[in-house]
Amino acid sequence: MAERVPTVPITIDGVEMEATAGETVLQCARRHGVDIPSLCFLEGLSPVGGCRLCVVEVAEDLRLRPACATTVTSDMEVTTQSSRLRSYRRSILELLFAEGNHVCAVCVSNGACELQDVAVRCGMDHVRYELQAPRRRVDASHPRYVFDPNRCILCTRCVRVCDEIEGAHVWDVAHRGHGAELVTDLHRPWGESTSCTWCGKCVASCPTGALSHQGSSVGEMRHTPDMIAWLVAARRREWTEREARR
């Protein structure tokens, strides 16, 4: 018999629903089919609330809250869609597109890119802001993978998956602000990394075309970010122990 999980009543966009105690607003919304856009969040990794796309309004709270890192409380009233939130999300997406060199037409992830998908969902038909056109070097030194920082949105999924799941901590962020960039080891080429295990979880987690398999051509790259949540569940032995109890 299934264990009873305590629930709390919450309201999302005017719809009353049962949230599982301890889960986040984002998890609850997604379980109930409510679409809150997000990029840095990945099930299985610790939330950092960096992309700010999932910000929602919580009644009686003046500040917007990142749904990925806000735990549900009883009788919480959440608004995920408002004209303000929509315009903010679109602006944040435009800022992301303007700061990198996101040329969908020549990207390995074209047609299977979370950034591109979120832009479509948020109604971004053009970018109002000045294109920053940064000059960033591609690191293709790894025998199996390629890192193209032009397509990186600094979501840090790769940093977290490598640190929290693989335990290698190959990736980290160097410098700050508009100069922030991902580095491998102590800013050495990825191919020379002595800590990389070639496990590929960073590539699997990447929401854009920033990390890809060597040899991928335009539109060929398929990431598998969902595998991280499976892996975490497997590590916790959720299936095997359930099997044993049966």
Report the nearest approach of other proteins to the CB of residue 209 (Å): 10
Q: Indicate the residue among 15 and 133 with the shorter CB distance to other proteins.
A: 133
Report the nearest approach of other proteins to the CB of residue 219 (Å): 8
CA distance 104 to 107: 5
Report the nearest approach of other proteins to the CB of residue 16 (Å): 25
State whether residue 17 is helix, strand or coil.
Answer: strand
Q: Indicate the residue among 17 and 26 with the shorter CB distance to other proteins.
A: 26
Report the nearest approach of other proteins to the CB of residue 198 (Å): 25
Of 150, 52, 146, nearest in space to 100 by CA: 150
Positions touching other proteins (CB under 8 A) are: 47-53, 55, 63-64, 66, 69, 84, 87-88, 91-92, 95-99, 101, 103-107, 110-111, 116, 119-120, 123-136, 150, 153-154, 172-173, 175-180, 219
Give the largest Cα separation in the chain, rounded. 60
CA distance 44 to 182: 21
Q: Indicate the residue among 44 and 209 with the shorter CB distance to other proteins.
A: 209
104 to 137, 168, 204: CA distances (angstroms) = 18, 31, 19
Q: Indicate the residue among 49 and 191 with the shorter CB distance to other proteins.
A: 49
State whether residue 119 is helix, strand or coil.
Answer: helix
